[in-house]
Every structure is written in C-alpha cells, then in structure tokens.
Amino acid sequence: MTTHTPADLPDAASERPARYLRVLSIAGSDSGGGAGIQADLKTFSALGCYGMTAIAAITAQNTCGVRAIHGIPAEMLKAQIDAVVQDIGVDAVKIGMLASPETVRVVADAIRQYQLPHVVLDPVMVATSGDRLIATETSDALVRELFPLVELVTPNLDEAGWLLGQRIEGIEALEGAARQLLALGAPAVLLKGGHLSGDWVVDLLAEREAPSLRLESARIVTHNGHGTGCTLSSAIAAELAGGATLPQAVTSARAYILGAIAAGADVRTGSGHGPLNHGYAPRVQKVIRPPLSR
C-alpha cells in the first residue's frame, strides 16, 4: 500500500483546487438508454467531462419507439437547474427535448439569470422511429424564446423542415435552409443532412458572420442510429466546454460520433433502431487547475 506524507500532498495554501469540465444536459430521459439524458451522460464521460442533468421529461421508450411521454413540471425543472448551477457551476449546456412552452420559458430564464455559457440547442421534435415528440406550440416557443439565447442550434432535416414549413430535399438545399434558420434568430446552425439518401452524409455549419463549413463523410450502413442527434449535440457542448471554437467543436464532435456509430454498427440491442457505442474510445477525465493568483 502506498502511503503519502504531508509533503506529497497539494498545499492548499499555495495551490487552488482543480475542477472538472462541467456540462449540463437539460433534456428528456430515454428509458431505453440510447438517446436523451442517458446518451448525453455517456457522451460527456467519453469525452472527459463531468455530466449533470436537469430532466425535462420522462419517456417510456425502447429501440422500437416511444410508448409514453410525461413532462416534468416547470417548477421542478427550474429547481434542478438552480441546484446544479448554484453549487457545481456550468461550463457548457446541451438542451434536448423540452415538453411544453412552460419548460422552454424556464430554460430561457435560467440562461439569462445565470449567463450560462456555450449553450447548444438540439430541437428534438421527432424520434428516430418517426414518433412526434412535442406539440406545435412548444416548437414555436423554442424558436421565440431560445434561438436568440443559444450559441448553436442542431436540427436534422425533419426538424428543420418542420420549423420552416417546407421540405428540404437535396444537398443543394442545405445552404438556403440553414440561412432561413439563422433568420429565425439563431446565431449559428448545424443542419444535419443524414436523412438524405446517398453514399455520403453532408452536414452544414452556418454562422451569421462567417462562411459556411461543409462536412462530409461516407455513410456508415447500420440499423443502429438511435440517439445520433442527442450524442452529436452533447459532444459539441463537451468540446466547447474545453475551449474549442465552434468549427473546431463541431468537427471534433462529428469525428467522435462517426467513431461511435462505426463501433456499434454490428451490435444487436433490442429489435428496432439500436444505439451507438458511446464508450468506444473513452478519454481521460479533463481537469482544470486554475493558475495561482498573484
């Protein structure tokens, strides 16, 4: 057994304590474990961050679909956010499924009150199985209340089409659709083109004050795509927490999710759309040790 003398231990008087990179997920719970809060926590851990949660909804679901949704009362969601932020603190935030306009307002109020940094909004509206998850008035509230407050919005084509009231067909339509989403108030949009057909997947990062960044990769053939959107937005938040620029965060997060899809492509979990392999390449926990004050 190794013993430590006082000389081996950090001197509290001369060294400030270290802390983890802290990422908060405000989202719904997926009882099947492949998406939502569960996928977020797995992603944060895989990318070396300390994950925290404020659960906005509970779902009864598995790889075949969503059976039931129960929204958490707005006051309980607020209590969860307050408890985490006031004690532990936050370096980045991922927002997923919000079940009602009231919960949207709670989250918007929290972002303003606490000046929460690096907020990534994944406007979850439709599950991988095709199940509709939120009502129209809630998606309207997302645009009105949250788009102007976040750093990035990450819709897939179905979600973007719902928000814009139009179908988005073909890679050539991504730029125009992304610019329309920016016009709704978002400062930056990652429009995910994975639902388009073809051997290549093309995503587009559009920012108001920068040229668009087009990201391409060969399509990975698999039935295990449940939770890809949740995982990607969580990975982006984790990278932003560590100080990456937005293009760097998106590029790194996309590389992580491609690896997770490939590592889980042939694994059988349930009888429907299975999950990714979130822990395929775990990393060392990232710790920040602030410099000594002078």
Check whether 14 has a pLDDT greater than 70: no
Domain CATH number, residue 250? 3.40.1190.20
Residue (of 114, 38, 107, 90) closest to 237 by Cα position: 90
Sorted by sequence, the CB contacts under 8 Å of residue 167 that are 6+ apart come out as 161
- Expressed as residue numbers, the domain containing 92 is 20-279
Instruction: Count the domains in the chain.
Output: 1
Alpha-carbon distance 40 to 25, whole Å?
Answer: 7
Check whether 290 has a pLDDT greater than 60: yes
Q: How confident is the model at residue 263 (pLDDT cuts 50, 70, 90)?
A: very high
Query: DSSP class of residue 17?
Result: P
H-type helices in the chain, by residue range? 36-46, 74-87, 101-114, 136-141, 157-164, 174-183, 228-241, 246-264
Which value, in Å, is the radius of gyration of the alpha carbons in the chain? 19
Alpha-carbon distance 25 to 54, whole Å?
Answer: 6
pLDDT in tens, 68-110: 999 999 999 999 999 999 999 999 999 999 989 999 999 999 9
pLDDT in tens, 177-197: 999 999 999 999 999 988 787
Q: What is the pLDDT of residue 13?
A: 44
pLDDT in tens, 133-180: 677 888 899 999 999 999 999 999 989 988 998 888 888 889 999 999
Does residue 267 lie within any of the structural domains?
yes
Does residue 2 lie within any of the structural domains?
no
Check whether 130 has a pLDDT greater than 70: no
Alpha-carbon distance 3 to 293, whole Å?
Answer: 30
Check whether 294 has a pLDDT greater than 50: no
Does residue 10 lie within any of the structural domains?
no
Single-letter code of the amino acid located at 113: Q
Does residue 188 lie within any of the structural domains?
yes
Q: How confident is the model at residue 12 (pLDDT cuts 50, 70, 90)?
A: very low
Does residue 294 lie within any of the structural domains?
no
pLDDT in tens, 207-218: 998 999 999 999
Which has more confidence, 198 or 59?
A: 59
Q: What is the pLDDT of residue 281?
A: 77
Does residue 292 lie within any of the structural domains?
no
Does residue 259 lie within any of the structural domains?
yes
Alpha-carbon distance 136 to 115, whole Å?
Answer: 28
Is-contact 65 129, C-beta < 8 A? yes
Check whether 55 has a pLDDT greater than 70: yes
Q: How confident is the model at residue 126 (pLDDT cuts 50, 70, 90)?
A: low
With 0-12 / 13-18 / 19 or more C-beta atoms within 10 angstroms meaning exposed / middle / buried, residue 172 is: exposed
Is the pTM value of this prediction over 0.75? yes
Does residue 263 lie within any of the structural domains?
yes
Q: What is the pLDDT of residue 212?
A: 94
Alpha-carbon distance 99 to 294, whole Å?
Answer: 48
Q: What is the mean predicted confidence (pLDDT) over 112-132? A: 83
